[in-house]
Chain A
Amino acid sequence: MDIHPILQEFLDKWVYPTGFTGPGYDFRMRFTERCLPAWNVATLRSVEAAEKDAQDPSREWLKNNAMAGYAGEGPQMSIKQMSTQLLAVSIEEQEKYIELQRMRAQQIWDEVKHGQLHADVLLRGKFIEKEEDLMESADANTLGILSYFGLTAMFPHIHPLARNAQHYFFEGTACLGIAVRIKYMDDPLDLHDNLSQYPEELMHFMEGKFQMDAYALTEAEQKPIEEALDFMMQPWAPTLADALTLDESLEAEA
């Protein structure tokens, strides 16, 4: 497999450096090997989309991206994620995983900010007149990425560490997509959206990286993370299935 240069840069800067050795880090490296083909195809797809969008003066893509972001990255989902983390982790384990709870609480602040960021793009792009208009739009309030925004709220019920598959694999994909937009797009609102978002998505990726390195030390702790990745790679998970559908023309380009 030829690694796309944007993915290679991501690997060298953020994936391979580690603060720990041992079974957690070894597990993460094996996990990374599973992520690589999907990350590579997702990067190629993002490049393809960015090149297409850059040629489209209608900026309909900007509206669609912001709508999807507004729907998917709102406080509603992060509150669900934090509350399920609180409700699902046993009292005996709460102390051990207290930082996971705090990270979820932090995420609510980030997601509120992101909801505003996407509304800001829609307002400044003149796609809506006021934020309240979004209440009339189904597109701004629903997102069909089942594997990520739906049942992932249930991951803590499986194991306190299960969500790390999401943090690591899916947020890694998000970081790559954003890196592509920053490199390929010069639309000021698109850049504003992506530059604002990048450190937060990378922070979620780092949550997964840290928790795998530091906490996923036994087979019992690693298995639920692995199973969560299996779940996210199911062919019925819409967006991910796109990323995982090997496209021969893209492969040839790579």
Chain B
Amino acid sequence: MAKQPDIIPIKIDHDKCTECRMCYVVCREINFNAVIIDTAETHLHEIDMDRCVYPRCTVCLMYCPADASIVESETGKSLVPPPAEAWTEDKRWPRRA
């Protein structure tokens, strides 16, 4: 997927993250697979910005239970619990039976 200019880098704050892997589960569910285990450096869950399209997709933020554990990389702005603008109708994934 070609990266768009409106994509904002986000990252996991490992001082806050509890490694519960809910972000991994939900990102896998929508087949983005942008949450990975970093095998080179941290060996922890990390967000692969080659795949992540935040703020177009915000699904990981909706099911993360650890306050302030996902943040915007540049500003450090906390995204958990998700701010209201992160779960507007256009950002939700439709599910059909």
- Spell out A's residues near B (CB within 8 Å): 13-14, 17-25, 99, 102-103, 106, 199-200, 202-203, 205-207, 209-210, 213-214, 217-218
- Interface core residue of B25, B28, B63, B94 (most chain A CB under 10 Å): B63
If the complex has contacts A18-B92, A20-B93, are A206 and B18 also in contact, measured as CB distance less than 8 A? no
Q: List 6 A-B contacts (CB under 8 A).
A: A14-B81, A23-B95, A203-B65, A203-B66, A210-B29, A217-B97
Is residue B62 contacting chain A, with contact meaning CB distance below 8 A?
Answer: yes
Interfacial residues, chain B to chain A (CB-CB below 8 A): 18, 20-22, 25-26, 28-29, 58-67, 81-82, 86-87, 89, 91-97
Contact of B20 among A14, A106, A214 (CB under 8 A): A106
Contact of B28 with A99 in the complex, beta carbons under 8 Å:
yes
Asked whether A217 and B22 contact (CB < 8 A) given A17-B82, A199-B65, the answer is no
Interface pairs A-B: 4 shortest CB-CB: A19-B59, A22-B95, A202-B65, A19-B62
Question: In the complex, how many angstroms separate the beta carbon of A160 from the nearest chain B beta carbon?
Answer: 15
Q: A19-B93, A21-B94 are in contact. Are A205 and B65 (CB under 8 A)?
A: yes
A214 pairs with B87, CB closer than 8 A: no
Q: Which residue, B22, B66, B94, has most C-beta atoms of chain A within 10 A?
A: B22
